Amino acid sequence: MKTLLTLSLLLISKVAAENQCRSGEYTTAGACCYLCPPGYGVSVPCGDADTVCEPCIAGSSFSNESSASARCQFCTFCQSALQIPGAACSVTQDAVCHCPEGFYLHPKDIGYYVCLPCQVCGKGHGATTPCSPAHNAECQLCPHGFYSEVKSSVAPCLPCRTNCLESEVQIADCTPQHDILCMSKDVPILKRKDENVTGNTSLEDDSRDVWVLKGRDDNSSVSGSPHFISPEDNSKNIIPVYCSILAAVVVGLIGYVAFKCWATCKQKKLLAKQRAGELAASGEGEKLHSDSGVFLDTHSLQEHTQLNKAAKLEPKLYINLSPNKQEEVERLLTDTSRGKDWQRLASLLGYEEDTIDAFGRGEDPVHTLLTDWSSKDSSTLEVLCAALVNMERADVVETLNSTADASSVV
């Protein structure tokens, strides 16, 4: 009888389990609602009638669970460089995107994701939420008692040390940018001073200046506090050295000036002899004396020759050109058929891009450029011609050369 009763109970339990509804949802008529398997979404939810399922579209939608109410979800689209191989979207699973280290996945549009660089928390700030492939970092200023000495997207604020070691002395308090700063008491530039039980301090008798380094001893049983000792006064020993160096410099300058004067005088004498020989050979001195009745000494001719040579060696400046010639050069450079050559010219003359843009916003950028450049000491025709040759503007160079030749005729 016991065996028969047990078998009957097992049979009843099996029938009840088979009749239990897996979805937990029923139609209005009391029938169990059908579950849509993975890869299928609900088209018509269970209600008056049973659940109606529809297949998800491969590469477009997916469903990874059995449900009587969930529809197919849209697939996640990643940039091609972020797509993990073998993790593309299918009807039963979503695509898996991956960002490199230092980046996080950010939704750019519905179902479309891109990788953006993580926010970097600066010194004095810590990451309350570290950067991860799915979330950006969140930063906050380190509160009192915490600090951060690094720039990081993951490092949080660290708690400050409570005190220094017994062999150290604290020289700075904890701030959001750094921990407490400690210095060893055995540093050579530090010297101990005695301290009695009541806390009164006495410095040993020393003629040197003393600077006290403020701080606190973390161990009250250790007496004394450090103070800096100034270096010995060696100024008396350095003064003779400075005087010797200064005397050597003065003697060197005097010798250099004397040598230059001697070389100049020697050169003048050679030029005078050469000029006198040329006049003697050509008979120019006698001719001038006999024909005009005016005596022209060789010393005056020598000075005239040196002045002519100095005038030839003197650089020709653009600012010395006549206004008509300057207008002609500006007109050639303003010619729009050749493009904006003045911008390239300004770059070759050493102007920065911001200054060139400022010239371009004016009514006459070429005139503004050349007027500004001509005020500089280096505004010679040789420099301007070199820049124009580099730009292949031979027409402007020819105009400048004809201008230089015309202005040099006496």
pLDDT of residue 189: 57
Does residue 408 carry a pLDDT above 50? no
Rounded CA separation 61/64 (Å): 10
Angle at which helix 381-390 crosses helix 341-348, to 10 degrees, equals 120
pLDDT of residue 210: 38
Q: Which range (206-210, 275-279, 357-361) has the least confidence?
A: 206-210
Structure tokens at 169: 């002395």
268-305 per-position pLDDT tens digit: 877 777 766 665 555 444 443 444 443 344 444 454 44
Residue ranges of domains in the chain, CATH in brackets: 25-115 (2.10.50.10), 125-159 (no CATH), 168-196+207-229 (no CATH), 239-309 (no CATH), 315-408 (1.10.533.10)
- 36 pairs with which residues across the strands? 67
107-152 per-position pLDDT tens digit: 777 667 788 899 999 999 999 999 988 889 999 999 999 999 999 9
Rounded CA separation 282/286 (Å): 9
Does residue 9 carry a pLDDT above 90? no
pLDDT of residue 53: 94
Does residue 105 carry a pLDDT above 50? yes
Residue 136 or 191, more confident: 136
User: 3-state DSSP helix/strand/coil percent for the chain, to nearest 5?
Assistant: 40, 20, 40
Tokens 């993580």 sit at which residue?
118
* pLDDT band, residue 390 (cuts 50/70/90): confident
Rounded CA separation 91/59 (Å): 7
Query: C-alpha dihedral over 79, 81, 85, 91, to 10 degrees?
Result: 10
Dihedral-angle region of residue 195 (phi above 0 means left; psi in -120 to 50 means alpha; beta otherwise): beta
How many Cα atoms sit within 13 Å of 320 on the Cβ side? 13
